[in-house]
Amino acid sequence: MIYRIFLPGALLLLVAFGPADDMAQRPAPQKQGTRQPDTCGSHTVTRFVGSDATPSVRHAITVASGQEQIRWIKPGTAVTQDFRADRLNVILDQAGRILTMRCG
């Protein structure tokens, strides 16, 4: 009889307090407005956002950023998820215009 009362109560406590451990180990979210360091030269080439990614623009971005590792990403392109702080990712739209650039 005592197990009928004790067991459901114990299970309820485990369910209620079980996730508290997991939540305490999560990293704090980044503050709004904090900027990551520019390790790939992306801030030096922001003037090219909105330009067509022609060979001459691609060369100008390579020279201005000083990066040999540039990944040109078109919509639907499969990319690896390995993060490289020194690699410049140039995100293109369907028409081949530069939408944004970021390290990674």
By the 10 Å C-beta count (0-12 exposed, 13-18 middle, 19+ buried), 45 is classed as buried
Is the pTM above the cut of 0.75?
no
Confidence (pLDDT) at 17: 64
Residue 6 resides in a domain: no
Asked if residue 33 belongs to a domain, the reply is no
- Assess contact for 91 and 100: CB atoms under 8 A: yes
Domain count, the chain: 1
Asked if the structure places residue 21 within a domain, the reply is no
- DSSP-assigned letters across all residues of 15-66: HHHTHHHHHHTSPPPPPTT-----SSSGGGSGGGTTSB--HHHHHHHHHHHT
Q: How far is CA 61 from the centre of its chain?
A: 21
Check if the beta carbon of residue 97 is closer than 8 Å to that of residue 51.
yes
Q: Which of 6-20, 54-68, 90-104 has the lowest mean pLDDT?
A: 6-20
CATH number at residue 92: 3.30.10.10
Domain assignment of residue 69, given as a range: 42-103
Per residue in 60-79, pLDDT (tens digit) is: 999 999 988 899 999 999 99
Q: Is residue 22 part of a domain?
A: no
- What are 12-36's pLDDT values in tens digits? 666 666 655 555 455 555 555 556 6
Domain annotation covers residue 29: no
